[in-house]
Amino acid sequence: MTEAAVDIQRLSGYALMLMGFVLLFINHISVVAGDPWLIPEFLKLQ
Question: pLDDT tens across 2-28, in order?
Answer: 898 999 999 999 999 999 998 888 777
pLDDT at position 1: 67
pLDDT at position 7: 93
Asked whether the predicted pLDDT for residue 42 surpasses 70, the reply is no
Determine if the pTM surpasses 0.85. no
pLDDT at position 29: 74
pLDDT at position 37: 58
SS3 (DSSP) at 35: coil
Asked whether the predicted pLDDT for residue 41 surpasses 80, the reply is no
Q: Which of 39, 45, 40 is nearest to 27 (CA)?
A: 39
